[in-house]
Amino acid sequence: MVDDAVRWFHLVAAAVWVGGLITLGALVAAVRRAGADRTILRAMAAQYGRLAWTAMAVAIVTGLSLVGSRDLGNDDYAVKLLIKLTLVGIAAGLTLFHQMTAKTSSPAARGIGQGLILLASLGIVAAAVAL
């Protein structure tokens, strides 16, 4: 029962992270085309950032809890888990780098960074499904 609740929070946090990336990507393009200035885009990104980092923290804590309740003796499971954890690290690292450089980066560079973050995040989802 506890594992079910932890898994639920883990999945909701992952949905907030990845779903938010997809939604924000679509909204940023639409808002930019509508002529919004950069302060609007920054406000959107800042609000999503607060929500996303909270979701990432929940996903990590619940994920560690779920791993702690598993038998890691299965080599196939361990390899898939390692892939997922590597992708989590890549996504978090790319996101941190993006947030630290967004104010000075070109729109093209920010778009590439956001695309890479989304790809890593979708890879996390794929690895989770494989588990």
pLDDT tens digits for 29-73? Answer: 888 889 988 888 889 888 999 999 999 999 999 998 988 777 777
- pLDDT tens per residue across span 7-36: 999 999 999 999 988 888 888 888 888 998
Total tally of structural domains belonging to the chain: 1
- pLDDT the model gives residue 72: 72
Mapping DSSP to helix (H, G, I), strand (E, B) and coil, where does residue 107 land? helix
CA gap 64, 77 in Å, rounded = 14
Over residues 71-81, the mean pLDDT reads 81
What is the span of the domain harbouring residue 38?
2-130
- pLDDT the model gives residue 93: 93
CA gap 16, 48 in Å, rounded = 10
Over residues 81-98, the mean pLDDT reads 92
| pTM reported for the whole predicted model | 0.80
- Burial class from Cβ neighbours inside 10 Å (0-12, 13-18, 19+) for residue 12 reads middle
Tokens of 51: 């929500």
Tokens of 115: 């695309």
